[in-house]
Amino acid sequence: MLRKVVVVLLCSCLSFSTLEVHAWPSQKSREEYEKQGHIIWEAKTDQPIMALTFDDGPDPTQTIAILNVLKKYGVKSTFFVLGRRVKQHPEIVKKVMADGHEIANHTFSHAYFNAGSTSSFIRQEIERTQLAVYEVTGVKPTLFRPPGGNYNDRIINTAHLLGLKSVMWSWHQDTKDWTHPGVHKICDKVLKNAHNGDIVLFHDYVPGKTQTVQALETILPELQKKGFRLVTVSDLIRQSGNQQKVNQPDNHRAKAKHVVK
C-alpha cells in the first residue's frame, strides 16, 4: 500500500512539473503594460514629435536608399535589425550608426514568438542579436520589437530582464509597406493620421521592389511642414518625459499590437 502511495505522489509531482514547464504564459491588457513601462506603442506628449522606425534590415540596397533620404531631410530614425542580417551586412549597420540613427533588436531570425515559445528560445533570439550588433558597433541595443508585434508576459519579461524596453507602433501608423500597397496609400496612412508622439512602422527590407523610399520623399517634407520633429524612439521617450526607464540588467547579464494568447 505504501509503495502505491509513493508511486502516486511521484506521478503527481512529475505531472505538476510538466504543467509548470509547459504552462501557457499570461498576458495583460495594453494599458497594464503601458503602466508598467515595459511596452510603448506611442508617447504621450504635447510636443510635435514623432519617431519613424524601420524593421527587418539591414539591406545593402533598400537600407542605403532610405538612409540617403533621411539624410537629405535631416531626420534621425530607429532601425530594428535582424541579427542574421547584421552578420551578413555589418558595413550597413556601421553606416546606420555613423549617420546618427539608432539600432534596435528585432530578433535574430525574425522569429514569430507565440504562446508556445519557451523563455530560452526567446532569450536566445534576442541575445544572439545583441551580440551581433555589439560585435559590429561596440554598443548593445536597449530597445526590442518582437516580429509581428506579438506579445505576452513571457516575451516581454524576457526582454525586460535582458535590459530591453519593448517597442510596438501606433496602431494608426502601420504603413503595411511590405504588402506593396502603393506609394500614395503609404503616404496617406502616415500624413492623414499624424499625431504628437506617434511611432510609425516602415520596413527597410521588403521582398521585391520597395515603395517606402519613394513614399518617404513625400512624407518627410510634409511632416516637417506640419511642424513635426522626427526623432529616434529613445529620443521620443526622453523628450516626452513620461515613460519609465528600461530595466538595467546586472553586470553579469550585460557582459533580449498583437497579444499572443
Grid cell of 169 as nine digits? 507602433
At 48, is the pLDDT very low, low, confident or very high (cuts 50, 70, 90)?
Answer: very high
Q: What gap in Å lies between CA 129 and CA 134, rounded to an integer? A: 8
Is residue 15 pLDDT above 70, yes or no? Answer: no
Does pLDDT of 156 surpass 50?
yes
| Over residues 77-94, mean pLDDT | 98
Query: pLDDT tier at 242 (50, 70, 90 boundaries)?
Result: low
pLDDT tens profile 208-220: 999 999 999 999 9
- C-alpha closest to that of 211 among 237, 192, 190, 193: 190
Residue 241 is predicted with a pLDDT of: 84
Distance CA 193, CA 190 (A): 5
Residue 178 placed within a domain:
yes
Query: Does 23 fall in a domain?
Result: no
What pLDDT does residue 119 have?
96
Give the CATH number of the domain where residue 64 resides: 3.20.20.370
Asked, for residue 145, whether it belongs to a domain, the answer is yes
**Band of the pLDDT at 27, cuts 50, 70, 90?**
confident
Domain boundaries, position 120? 30-259
- Does 76 fall in a domain? yes
CB atoms within 10 A of CB 243: 16
Question: Is residue 192 a part of any domain in this protein?
Answer: yes
Spatial distance between the Cα atoms of 224 and 199, rounded to a whole number of angstroms: 15
The per-residue pLDDT for 140 is: 98
- Radius of gyration in angstroms for the set of CA atoms belonging to the chain, rounded to a whole number: 20
Asked if the structure places residue 16 within a domain, the reply is no
Single out the residue of 143, 161, 160 nearest to residue 54, CA to CA. Answer: 143
Angle ∠(60,64,69) on CA atoms, nearest 5: 160
Please report, rounded to a whole number, the percentage of residues in the chain having pLDDT higher than 90.
80
pLDDT at 248: 39
- Sole residue written with cell 527590407: 205
pTM over 0.75: yes
* Average of per-residue pLDDT across 121-129: 98
Number of structural domains (the chain) is 1
- Residue at 190 is within a domain: yes
Query: Is residue 1 in some structural domain?
Result: no
Q: For residues 222 and 220, what is the distance between their CA atoms, to the nearest angstrom?
A: 5
Q: Is the dihedral of CA 210, 236, 171, 226 positive or negative?
A: negative
pLDDT tens digits along 163-194: 999 999 999 999 999 999 999 999 999 999 99
* Residues classed as catalytic: 55, 203
More confident residue, 20 or 107: 107
Cell of 210: 520597395
